[in-house]
Structure 1
Amino acid sequence: MKTLAAWILLALALASPLSLAQIEEDDGRFWFTTDELNAGLGQAPDEVRRVTPREAVRSFMALTEEGEFAKAAHLLNLSDLTPEEQAERGGELARQLSEVLRRGEWLNVSNLPARRDALVEDATGQHPRAGQPRRNLPLVSLDARGETYDIRLGRYRVGEDEAVWLITPESISAVGLLYEEYGPSWLEQHIPDRFNTTYGMLKLWEWVAIPLFLVVIGLLGWGVFVMVGVVSRWLPGGMPRSFTANVRVPLAFIAMSLMAQILLDYVVSFSGAATASFRVLLIVILAWGLGLVALRLVDTFLLRMTRRLVGEIDDSKHRDERKLLTSLYALRRGIILVTVIAVTVYILAQIELFGTLGLSLLASASVLTVLVGIAGQAVLGNILSSFQVSLAKPVRIGDLVVFEDEWCYVEGIFYTFIRLRTWDERRVIVPVRYFVSQPFQNLSAKEAKQYRRLVLHLHLSADIGCLRERFQAFAREDEGVIEHDQLACFVTGQTETSLEVSFYLMGSEPICAWEAEARIREKLVAYIRDHHPEWWPREVVVLSHHDVARGARPAARTVTRPARVEDITDREP
């Protein structure tokens, strides 16, 4: 065992120099080697921290915030300049770059690596370069004159000195152009220095200017809203006036967004945090306003077409017209869905969420899927059910249905609910999934006309032939009854004391048929009351001869319908 342990120690001793040399060789691949670094600036002061990417950017921002631009120049790689130009322009380039970084885009320093080698730390292992050191890092990407310019950090080493992180020479070459685009405006150049003191994330003058900026934009939106309202009243009635009146709000927001963009580009610009927030908000408002204008145009066109082709919403219209109206509403929902998706994709593309958050979204895709599936199950289910109703058409807009013992017209089929109009002008709002999962009667599925049954309970002595003649006469006189050849009268039931007589009639539509049934019932009841009151059911009380002999009187009974009591004495055989 001692011999084996000795051999192991000898092997480790021989391998150690090779391993250390290999590590040193590999580390050399993760920095840029240069002969000299900012020779015109002299020795870097102690305040300059350049060992890690996070430390380098944080040191640069802190020094430029304090006005120490000459020291901040040590965080730039000025190798493209001569030593004389480095000493002359280094501080000015640092000042211009600090203004670009503060105004161009909000830079979150905490997201930068805190390791010297900027190794990609990814516990999920989904990053393509997880576990690999880096020598070049992107900070921000900014647009100027139609081109995109990157500000990047690079890791550099001179001889045996420690490697440091600096802004790359390629980034320095674009500072002048970016400063023209993102530098302070004419108004900001005349702001006194005492108002440029930073409080929190903003400067002192920005805390005053931003509320004024919002007030000016709000007044512009209110003016556009009022002006569009005046124009809509001047326009002739019909589709132009309706469309103009419906786009007052989105046009006001579009005007506010465009004016705010113009002010930010040519009049005033704020710090990166405020500017980034404003630009995202303006993109969302502009996309929302344009999408809403497009939807209002579609709504106006569909409403015009609906009124011209279909008219009022009820089941008296031909079933093909009701089917067309349902298809138009389905088309509207499809257009809304496509518009929402297009606007969402546009917003995400403009704020570059796909590029900056793509890996994070992929890493958390399973969690988001579960959360969205749980939280949006009811909404998504209703939307899918809405499209199912629009395609299969078990009900159409204008159909008369009996839903949970309520007679209702289908007034609208929307994404998540169906709006029903009851016979007494109430509105019943039903979730689509609940509606399609419950049984209901569609009284307009084929035709609007309906067969109705009228029932009377009469005495056994009633003359059915006479009743049949009177019923047919009353039905032919009633304007709500159609297809007189379908009129019928039958005895459909019998008890020991009464008959069940059923009368059948056809109405042009369910409500009309119900009203005709009620009118004819009144006429039949009045006829029997005036001409044959003996036809009403009568209750029979049977007394034995013993009760008659004692002079007993029949017990009182509760009579539930009009009746005359007849005493009948049973005789013994």
Structure 2
Amino acid sequence: MIAMLQLVRTLLPALCALTVLLLQAPGAHAQEQSGLDSWYRVTEVNPGLGAPPGNIDRTTPRSSLESFLFRADAEEWGQAAHMLDLSAIPPDEQAKVGPERAEQFATLLDRRIIIDWYDLRDRPDAVDARTTDAPMAGEPRRSLLLWYVKLGDRPVPIRINRIKPAVGEPVWLVSRQTVMSLPALAEAYGPTEFELMLPEPLRQKAFWGLRWYEVGAFPLVVLITTLVGFLFNKAMSKGLGRTHRDSPTSMLVATRGPLTLAVVTLTMSVLTSKVFVFSGRIDTVLSPLIILGFVVATLWLIVNVADVILSRLVNFDDEELAAMGDGMEQRRNVATRISAARRAVIVIVVLVGAGITINEASVMRSLGVSLLAGAGTATIILAYAGRNVLTNIMASLQIALNQSARIGDKVIYQGRFCTVERIHFTFVQLRVWTGSRLVVPVVDFVSEPFENWTMKEHFLIEQVVLRLSHKADIEALRRKYEQILDDMDVPEDRAEDRGVYVKGHDVFGQEVVFLVPTPDPNLAWTMACEVREALLKEARKLDDEAQAIFPEATPAEAA
């Protein structure tokens, strides 16, 4: 027993030590792995520049960029070069090339980059502790994206990296890849020849990060662009004098608006890239607008040219399409389907244009106004605000697919005799027989029943209802009715559609319906009115000659 206790006393410290080691091993391994992922390892940081001055702080992303800007404002390019990763440059050339790259980076910061200081972390590991939704939330960072700058056909990322030398603490520097791209970026976005010709006072800082020449040049650029657009539009309008100015089949009319927008956008692009290179604050707004201008002009031109071609191939005139005859049914079907195809093309064009704009305007991501990050909230807001519009668009496509109403069809909608003039994205345009226009949301139009007089069968039977006395001679009126229809050249092959019927009665008299066969829906309502007028005329004659035809009731009794 004593020997057992001595053995336990001997092994207990060893077991405790082993337990502690086992518990600490995963944490130590994780810490070591985290340290490896938190920076890029190099042998030495910028050995060709010598020891960094003591008045710069490179321990955090924010302090490193602040130190660079302070040195750049003082034009101390040699000290500013210490905030760049010059590891791709031979050490013996770093002292010469470093200040040049620092000046180029300062120019790029001034003209193309806006630093989001709220998003730039002021801690060595650059951990973003504000949110837990981001993929890298709570994780140490060794590379941060500042901006995208377009160089040719590709966007160049501007980054700062955390570098750890073999001896010393890690520091934040402008990335090696960014430093190597600086000469090409400076050539693309540096001062133009025209700027270099300006007096030095005009190139000095004014306010809001702008130079004095920018303060005066921006309104001048807007004025020149507006003038060029006005003159171009005027020149095209002169050309329109040789054609019908408002003709839907005029190619000049169709291309005038899109080409004017394209010329205005091109002028703005040339002035802001070849003559004046504005700072990032202005360029951040201009670049997406220029991209949007080119995209809108191109898509607008495609839609307008397609409209002209369709107008020349297909007649969309509702009065001509409303005519009856051989082939008119097919013409109405074709016109309605092409109108629906046009709407579908416009939707596709708008979606493509939006995609191109978002893809090209990558600067938006650098602003922190991330279109993709805010897509969830934006989608909910837009879907709620535009739910009626989207519903109407889908309903208009539904009409085109099921052909329940076509351009040129005669319909009875809410008691009005109308012709379908146009089926738009969100509304149906109806021309009432009086000449007025009735605009109906597509959803309301398809959700309510309506009569279509030109669907399938053109032959209609109108009804003329007269209230007559119980003593009225219906047979005498029937003979007059047949004579009236014969005089109106109603087709004899539809004689079975004629008829006079007593459909009901009450204490005031009997209701008699006279059927009016009509071969043309366009004339159905008019023919019914003419038959009613003729019947009343004959009824008055019979009323004067024989027994009373009309019921003898006072207005109070009728009410």
TM-score interval for Structure 1 and Structure 2 normalised by the shorter chain: 0.7 to 0.9
Structure 1 counterpart of 2:517: 506
Residue 252 (1) aligns with residue 260 (2): yes
The structure showing larger relative contact order (alpha-carbon pairs under 8 Å, at least 6 residues apart) is 2
Equivalent runs, 1:62-211 vs 2, <5 Å? 62-81=70-89, 85-119=93-127, 123-127=131-135, 129-144=136-151, 149-195=156-202, 196-211=204-219
Q: Is the 8 A contact 1:480 1:513 kept in 2?
A: no
Structure 2 counterpart of 1:423: 433
Equivalent runs, 1:344-363 vs 2, <5 Å? 344-352=354-362
- Whole-angstrom distance in 1 between the partners of 2:455 and 2:36: 81
- Whole-angstrom distance in 1 between the partners of 2:30 and 2:499: 106
Structure 1 counterpart of 2:239: 231
How far off its partner does 1:137 sit? 3.5
Q: How many residues align?
A: 542
- Whole-angstrom distance in 1 between the partners of 2:121 and 2:40: 18
- Whole-angstrom distance in 1 between the partners of 2:359 and 2:542: 85
Structure 1 counterpart of 2:413: 403
Deviations 1:78-109 (A, max 9, x none): 34445664333432321112112332444434
- Whole-angstrom distance in 1 between the partners of 2:503 and 2:165: 111
SS across alignment from 2:250: helix
Q: Is the 8 A contact 2:80 2:99 kept in 1?
A: yes
SS across alignment from 1:274: helix
What TM-score, normalized by structure 1, do the two folds share? 0.83
Structure 1 counterpart of 2:548: 536
SS across alignment from 2:304: helix
- Whole-angstrom distance in 1 between the partners of 2:316 and 2:412: 28
- Whole-angstrom distance in 1 between the partners of 2:246 and 2:387: 40
Deviations 1:327-368 (A, max 9, x none): 111111111111111111111111137976999666655544
Q: Is the 8 A contact 2:269 2:290 kept in 1?
A: yes
- Whole-angstrom distance in 2 between the partners of 1:125 and 1:389: 44
What are structure 1's unaligned runs of at least 5 residues? 541-556, 563-573
Give the direction of change, closer, same or farther, for the CA distance of 1:477–1:25 in structure 2 (3 Å limit). Answer: closer
Q: Is the 8 A contact 1:184 1:269 kept in 2?
A: yes
Q: Is the 8 A contact 2:418 2:430 kept in 1?
A: yes
Give the direction of change, closer, same or farther, for the CA distance of 1:110–1:70 in structure 2 (3 Å limit). Answer: farther
Residue 520 (1) aligns with residue 528 (2): no
SS across alignment from 1:275: helix
Deviations 1:492-531 (A, max 9, x none): 4566785544322212334522222222332333334346
Aligned AA (1:192): P
Aligned AA (1:529): R
SS across alignment from 2:123: coil
Structure 1 counterpart of 2:458: 448
Deviations 1:131-169 (A, max 9, x none): 432333343444445565444323233454222111234
Aligned AA (2:357): I
What are structure 2's unaligned runs of at least 5 residues? 1-8
Residue 321 (1) aligns with residue 328 (2): no
Q: 31-40 or 184-193: which moved more? A: 31-40
- Whole-angstrom distance in 1 between the partners of 2:465 and 2:239: 62
| Higher radius of gyration, 1 or 2 | 1
Structure 1 counterpart of 2:396: 386
Q: 151-160 or 237-246: which moved more? A: 237-246
Structure 2 counterpart of 1:439: 449
Q: 282-291 or 375-384: which moved more? A: 375-384
Equivalent runs, 1:365-376 vs 2, <5 Å? 366-376=376-386
Aligned AA (1:446): K
Aligned AA (1:535): Q
Q: 141-150 or 44-53: which moved more? A: 141-150
How far off its partner does 1:201 sit? 3.3
Deviations 1:405-424 (A, max 9, x none): 22222211111111111111
Q: 136-145 or 189-198: which moved more? A: 136-145
- Whole-angstrom distance in 2 between the partners of 1:121 and 1:425: 67
Q: CA RMSD in A?
A: 3.7
- Whole-angstrom distance in 1 between the partners of 2:428 and 2:34: 68
Q: 135-144 or 252-261: which moved more? A: 135-144
Aligned AA (2:142): R
Q: Is the 8 A contact 1:480 1:516 kept in 2?
A: no
Give the direction of change, closer, same or farther, for the CA distance of 1:226–1:76 in structure 2 (3 Å limit). Answer: same
Deviations 1:545-573 (A, max 9, x none): xxxxxxxxxxxx946799xxxxxxxxxxx
Identity of aligned residues (%): 28
Give the direction of change, closer, same or farther, for the CA distance of 1:48–1:15 in structure 2 (3 Å limit). Answer: farther
- Whole-angstrom distance in 1 between the partners of 2:31 and 2:58: 23
What TM-score, normalized by structure 2, do the two folds share? 0.85
